Amino acid sequence: AEAQLIITYDITAPTVTISSDLSSPTNISPIPIKVIFSESVNGFGSDEVIIGFGALTSFSGADDIYTIDVTPSSDDTIIVKIGTNVAQDDAGNGNTASTQFKLLYDGTPPQGGLVNDGPGDDVDTQTINTSISASWTGFSDKGTGIAYYEWAIGTSAGGTDVQDWVNVGTDTTETNSSLSLADGTYYVSVKATDNSGNVSEAVSSNGVIVDTTPPSVPANLSASAGDMIITLSWNANSESDLVKYLV
């Protein structure tokens, strides 16, 4: 049989795509990234990866699939790109350039604000023991914006023993009307989560006193008559929160 010479003709340049399993924005660092060529290539190394606003901290792979980790240098949009002719297929064709891969990194949590007891201005006491209201202002996030708030109620600042954390969206006034509270002091706490998943520190109110117990009847009430005047006297009540007497 005659010997045959088979020659494969290949002038097709390998293409390359860059992707990540993370969605933008993200607060995860380092950021895992996949670099996939359309066919096996040679000569591709970590020095061939162009990165903006970050640093390459891991590189592995072979043939047509590579994985890298990029650690952002700050809260910003990282950029990853593969240039032209940095890798070759078995026929010696250099790759085409990738499109820029961009992903917004935000690792900074929102800033806390002010939490008031009550649905408006801050209140110090209330005589209702079936509900707690709160409102808050001043929470902010310069990166990706606030996605939602959570609020909780406790018998201490930051406590959740009365109501555990509840997601209330972007509302800034809330009421829980299904409570049964003993007389005492209660605190509302609020924390904010931004669109990257960063959570602020919890901020607590200064507390509201629930007091459903009326003052005791004044003791030893006496009256004395004078010229066109009657003088009343009684023993002072011992309640520390007494505001006034009505005669």
CB crowding 189-222: b at 16 or more within 10 Å, else e: bbbbbbbbebebebbbbebbebbeeeeeeeeeee
Quote the pLDDT of residue 1.
Answer: 64
Quote the pLDDT of residue 218.
Answer: 82
Quote the pLDDT of residue 2.
Answer: 77
CATH class of this structure's domain 16-105: mainly beta
Region(s) of the chain under CATH 2.60.40.1220 = 16-105
Quote the pLDDT of residue 220.
Answer: 81
CATH fold label, 114-210: Immunoglobulin-like (2.60.40)
Quote the pLDDT of residue 167.
Answer: 98
Q: If you compute the radius of gyration of the chain from its CA atoms, what whole number of angstroms results?
A: 34
pLDDT mean values, one per 10 residues, the chain (247 residues): 77 97 97 98 97 98 98 98 97 97 98 97 96 98 97 98 98 98 98 98 98 84 84 80 76
Can you tell me the distance from the alpha carbon of 76 to that of 105, in angstroms, rounded to the nearest whole number?
Answer: 5
Can you tell me the distance from the alpha carbon of 83 to that of 92, in angstroms, rounded to the nearest whole number?
Answer: 16
Quote the pLDDT of residue 87.
Answer: 98
Region(s) of the chain under CATH 2.60.40.10 = 114-210
> CB-based contacts of 61: which residues, under 8 Å, 6+ apart?
35, 67
Quote the pLDDT of residue 92.
Answer: 95
Quote the pLDDT of residue 247.
Answer: 79
